[in-house]
Copies of this chain bind each other. A is one copy, B any other.
Amino acid sequence: MKPIKVGLLGLGTVGTGVVRIVEKHQSDLESQVGSPIVIEKILVQNKDKARSISIDQHKLTDDVWEIIHNPEIDVIVEVMGGIELTRSYILEALSRGKHIVTANKDLMALHGPEILSKAQEHGCDVLYEASVAGGIPIIRTLIEGFSSDRIMKIMGIVNGTTNYILTKMSQEGADYSEVLKEAQALGYAEADPTSDVEGLDAARKMTILATLGFRANVALEDVDVKGISAISREDILYAKRLGYEVKLLGIAERQDDYISVSVQPTMVKRSHPIASVNGVFNAVYVYGEAVGETMFYGPGAGELPTATSVVADLVAVVKNLKLGVNGKQEKIAYKEKKLKTDEQIASKYYLLLHVADRAGVLARITQAFAEFEVSLESVLQQPNPSNPEAEIIIITHDANKASMKKVLNSLEDMEVVKTIKSVYRVEG
């Protein structure tokens, strides 16, 4: 049978994994799709670079048009990363009728709607399972597995670097900066870790998941983002003492037709399944109106896990080719996007305050909560071991974000409140 020819853009970590899997599982893939799958051309920056896999030199090219304009090539697998240039390549490839498999979360978060609409116009597939949570098939789960349900909430640990850091801080009582250095040495964090630790990487992934879950085009700027760099050893210690773990969670929620999406450090009750997802692992918790609680767990990155998702997408494209049904993916985002206002976003909160240690302080503070109708689940006042101030730890009942902002403003204005040390969302 006529082989299916694939052009590969990029031969870094994931690209190498794709080559390995296609080679190693060739006979299984052929049994499934009925044709050999051949990686015909590979775009690289430097053809002469030493590589960990042996590749026919003639397959390598540093000219992207040799791939995009190659009439022999049916499918393009994009694992080079980058945004603007890559976008232009993909749009051009689509206009030439090439199907696309991509692992590029940045591209899909920023230009997903444009790319998917171009694909429909040209009858092409665009699949992007590997763009979120590496080896976990969460995208097909949301599109197909839960097609019948109404997704009400998605909570994701979708960034392995930050989960590694928080896990280490929790397990070893270590400081953030210390663990970050260690993660950098191990290659789990980049030299400039901003995109990971400030939550931007997670926000891009949540943009994609929220769009799929809520069937409305969520944009990156709709995501309220806060990273982990301000989390202290003390925060984690107190969380543990109260029965929580601190996790960087992407949270996408719907109420009626109104949605909100955020990425923020969150105190998760230890009994919640996502609380025990540790190290570089990822997990996506999905709550559906009918199905209830589900969770999908696995490796969020890495050569072979990510390549598994890329090649699974490739298999899907090839099956569609055989059936002649490429480009017939349903339109995902058929709903109008309606964002919640701060009045509509509700959650429990944890606060750690340093306050003056004198009579009447707790009364004044709790009065501020009462004034804006935020009710309290628990309050603990204790002496601060390291200075003459007292510590107050408060966990609220569900409170809306607008009211909480007013409470925080009011606390900030109080002379008796020395520092608002921490404010975290609470889940579970």
Chain A contacts to B: CB under 8 angstroms: 17, 21, 25, 28-29, 31-33, 129, 135-137, 140-141, 144-150, 215, 273, 276, 281, 288, 290-299, 302, 304-305, 307-312, 314-316, 319, 323, 325, 328, 330, 334-335
Chain B residues whose C-beta falls within 8 Å of the C-beta of A307 in the assembled complex: 148, 290
Contacts of A147 in B (CB 8 A): 29, 32, 311-312, 315-316
Q: What are the residues of chain B within 8 A of A312 when measuring CB–CB?
A: 144-149
In the complex, 5 of the A-B residue pairs with CB atoms within 8 angstroms, ordered by the A residue number, are: A21-B290, A29-B148, A137-B144, A290-B305, A295-B296
| B323–A148 touching, CB < 8 Å | no
Given A137-B141, A276-B276, A319-B330, the answer on whether A148 and B290 have CB atoms closer than 8 Å is: no
| Residue pair A146, B150 in contact (C-beta under 8 Å) | no
Chain B CB within 10 Å — which of A29, A31, A33, A291 has the most? A291
Assuming the A-B contacts A146-B137, A297-B296, are A291 and B273 also in contact, with contact meaning beta carbons closer than 8 angstroms in the complex?
no
Q: Are B290 and A308 in contact (CB under 8 A)?
A: yes
Residue of B nearest to A28 (CB): B150
Of the candidates B148, B304, B325, the one whose C-beta lies within 8 Å of that of A314 is B148
4 extra interchain contacts, Cβ-Cβ under 8 A, other than A33-B330, A323-B325?
A21-B148, A147-B315, A292-B299, A295-B296
Question: Which of B145, B150, B276, B323 has a CB less than 8 Å from the CB of A137?
Answer: B145
**Closest 10 interchain pairs by CB?**
A137-B145, A148-B311, A294-B298, A135-B291, A290-B304, A291-B308, A295-B297, A147-B315, A148-B312, A290-B308
By a CB distance below 8 angstroms, the chain B residues around A149 are: 21, 25, 308, 311-312
Give chain B nearest CB distance to A146 CB in angstroms: 7
Most chain-B Cβ atoms within 10 A of its Cβ — which of A137, A147, A325? A147
User: Across the interface, do B294 and A297 meet the contact criterion of CB distance under 8 Å?
Assistant: yes
Q: A17: which B residues are within 8 A, CB to CB?
A: 290
A334: chain B residues at CB < 8 Å are 31-32
Contacts of A299 in B (CB 8 A): 291-294
Complex: how many Å from CA A302 to CA B290? 10
A136–B281 CA distance with the chains assembled, in angstroms = 20
Residues A144 and B305 in contact in the complex (CB < 8 Å), given A25-B150, A32-B330, A297-B273:
no
Given contacts A137-B141, A149-B25, A296-B296, contact A305 B291 (CB under 8 A): yes
Chain B residue numbers with a CB within 8 Å of A293 are 281, 297-299
Report the nearest B residue to A296, measured CB to CB: B296
Residues from chain B with a CB closer than 8 A to the CB of A325 are: 323, 325
Residue of chain B at shortest CB distance from A315: B147
- B contact residues around A137 at 8 Å (CB): 141, 144-146
Q: Is the CB of B298 within 8 A of A297?
A: no
Nearest CB of chain B from residue A336's CB, rounded to whole Å: 12
Q: Which residue of B lies closest to A334 (CB)?
A: B31
CA A312 – CA B305 in complex, angstroms? 26
Residue in B closest to A312 when the chains form the complex, CB atoms = B148
User: When the two chains form their complex, are residues A298 and B295 in contact, meaning their CB atoms are under 8 A apart?
Assistant: yes
Which residues of chain B come closer than 8 Å to A215, judged between CB atoms? 28, 31
Contact present for A292 and B323 (CB under 8 Å): no
- Closest chain-B Cβ to A103's Cβ sits at a distance in Å of 13
Find out whether the CB atom of B146 lies under 8 angstroms from the CB atom of A308: yes
The docked-state distance in angstroms from the alpha carbon of A141 to that of B297 is: 12
What CA separation (Å) do A310 and B288 show in the bound complex?
Answer: 15
A276 to B297, CA, bound (A): 13
